Amino acid sequence: MPKVTKKTLNCRGKLVDLRPAAVMGILNLTPDSFYSGSRVITAEQAVVTAERMLAEGATFLDVGGYSTRPGAADISAGEEADRVLPVIEAILDRFPDALLSVDTFRASVARQAVEAGACLVNDVSGGGLDPAMFQTVAELGVPYVLMHMRGTPQTMAQLTQYQDVVTDVIDELQTPLAALRALGQTDIVLDPGFGFAKVPTQNFQLLNHLEAFQVFDEPLLVGLSRKSTIWRTLNITPEEALNGTTVLNTVALLKGASILRVHDVKEAVEAVRLLQQLQPVAAK
């Protein structure tokens, strides 16, 4: 199994060990997320889902109020914050030790979410959609997920031309990563951005060469859960894509993923635990 030297994140003073890999459960506070099973509309529903995911072994819960599926409708920062903040507060009121991530590309939403108790910022745009994001995260002192994407959720499907998708994505991550490090940001997680400005064949290429991203010596987050790469390939629906998700998550773990971002926590945790037994030495 590939190795990364850095395998911890400082989340509000708690050192989170990513050995074995951690699981991040998805809480979509949007009415139009591509997988209906991930949608939670009210704070009460979110607390119930959070309780289940934490019981199943989730290390992080990723709360998002902006749908980033291809072609999703744009919403204002105010509406996004109105969706996210009450849920963060409700979950932490019930589970004060929960580690919450905010899934946003807006610095203002990230700041409000962290002030409400979130301990990690997951930015699908890698800082590309808000020039204030990097400075904001550095000031807040929270871990940051730097994901690769081209364009916006509305335009990314037209931006899939690469000479070599693995090399190009690595090259395009270098500049924002250097900018973050220059600001003193130390806790950085990289995400190749499966499905974001990539077609299924490119997603498979990225997964097959995931080890190449170890060149950055930062933990890797992989988000393949129930995505179209799986269900289009198998000619099924997102609702039928759990088995395919587990298969590809297992490949990602074997290739060095430190965090799996998933809709189905129990199955992902089981994959991590089984691989621990298969490769107990490599997992240490």
Q: For residue 155, which of 71, 68, 67 has the smallest C-alpha distance?
A: 71
DSSP string, 4-33: -S--EEEETTEEEE-SS-EEEEEEE--TT-
Q: Decide if 217 is inside a domain.
A: yes
Residue-level pLDDT at 68: 76
pTM over 0.75: yes
Residue-level pLDDT at 260: 98
Out of 261, 266, 273, 284, the active site residue is 261
Question: Is 261 assigned a catalytic role?
Answer: yes
Q: Decide if 126 is inside a domain.
A: yes
Residue 173 sits in a domain whose CATH number is 3.20.20.20
Domain span at 227? 8-278
Q: Decide if 283 is inside a domain.
A: no
Check: CB of residue 28 under 8 Å from CB of residue 66. Answer: no
Helix axes 265-278, 43-56, angle to 10 degrees: 20
* Other Cβ atoms within 10 Å of 284 Cβ, number: 8
Check: CB of residue 278 under 8 Å from CB of residue 257. Answer: no
* Other Cβ atoms within 10 Å of 251 Cβ, number: 16
Q: Decide if 34 is inside a domain.
A: yes
Residue-level pLDDT at 281: 46
Average pLDDT, rounded, for the chain: 92
Helical H runs in the chain?
43-56, 77-94, 107-116, 133-140, 165-182, 200-208, 228-234, 242-254, 265-278
Q: Decide if 1 is inside a domain.
A: no
Residue-level pLDDT at 282: 44
Coil, strand, or helix at residue 63?
strand
Out of 39, 111, 227, 255, the active site residue is 227
Residue-level pLDDT at 32: 52
Residue-level pLDDT at 29: 86
Q: Decide if 2 is inside a domain.
A: no
Number of domains observed in the structure of the chain: 1
Residue-level pLDDT at 283: 43
| Residuewise pLDDT in 10s, the chain (284 residues) | 555 566 899 998 999 999 999 999 999 887 655 445 555 678 888 999 999 999 999 999 999 998 877 666 788 999 999 999 999 999 999 999 999 999 999 999 999 999 999 999 999 999 999 999 999 999 999 999 999 999 988 899 999 999 999 999 999 999 999 999 999 999 999 999 999 999 999 999 999 999 999 999 999 999 999 999 999 999 999 999 999 999 999 999 999 999 999 999 999 999 999 999 987 544 44
User: Phi, psi at residue 193, to the nearest 5°?
Assistant: 75, 55
